[in-house]
Copies of this chain bind each other. A is one copy, B any other.
Amino acid sequence: MESKQEHTPCPTRLAGDRLRSVGLRPTRQRIALAGLLFAKGDRHLTAEELHEEAVSAGVPVSLATVYNTLHQFTDAGMLRVLAVESSKTYFDTNTSDHQHFFIEGDNEVMDIPTGGISIDGLPDVPEGMEVAHIDVIVRLRRKSS
């Protein structure tokens, strides 16, 4: 309506605006990584995985930049860090309150369908402390049967 550019559903521009709105310069790499991260629904991945994805997608970005970018996105509230197993950091594109399945062996993280779990009887929190977040991880293993 205001300009002819609205006809183009350009994802790059959308990502750019989103980045700008959190104070990050929309560089090629950040736009590309944001595209990979937020295009296809909720995802859980490591820096290494995202890096590989970017390279396969023809976006030559360094692993260091992927790490930097993931942390910048996390600080901007676009991502959440997941502690499922020591020694690997998973980033979750869903920052809302939800829980996870973790498939042991496959090292795969899945969202638990919303409203799945409710937590009751939270005990007294120590003086001067408040709850920042409650992480629930349901660890699954393949049935031995």
Residues of A near any B CB (own CB < 8 A): 81, 83-89, 101, 103-104, 110, 112-113, 115-126, 128-143
The reply to whether B121 and A118 form a contact with Cβ atoms under 8 Å apart is yes
The reply to whether A135 and B135 form a contact with Cβ atoms under 8 Å apart is yes
Contacts of A130 in B (CB 8 A): 140-143
State how many copies of this chain the complex holds: 2
Q: Which of A113, A138, A142 has the most CB of B within 10 A?
A: A138
Per a CB cutoff under 8 Å, which of B88, B122, B125, B140 touches A125? B140
Per a CB cutoff under 8 Å, which of B116, B118, B129 touches A140? B129
Per a CB cutoff under 8 Å, which of B81, B122, B125, B139 touches A131? B139
Contacts of A138 in B (CB 8 A): 122, 125, 131, 134-135
Tell me the dominant secondary structure on chain A's binding face. Answer: strand
Contacts of A129 in B (CB 8 A): 103, 140-143
* A123 in contact with B117 given A86-B83, A86-B87, A89-B86 (CB within 8 Å): yes
Per a CB cutoff under 8 Å, which of B112, B122, B140 touches A117? B122
The reply to whether B116 and A121 form a contact with Cβ atoms under 8 Å apart is yes
Contacts of A117 in B (CB 8 A): 119-123
* A122 in contact with B126 given A86-B88, A132-B141, A138-B131 (CB within 8 Å): no
The reply to whether A115 and B122 form a contact with Cβ atoms under 8 Å apart is no
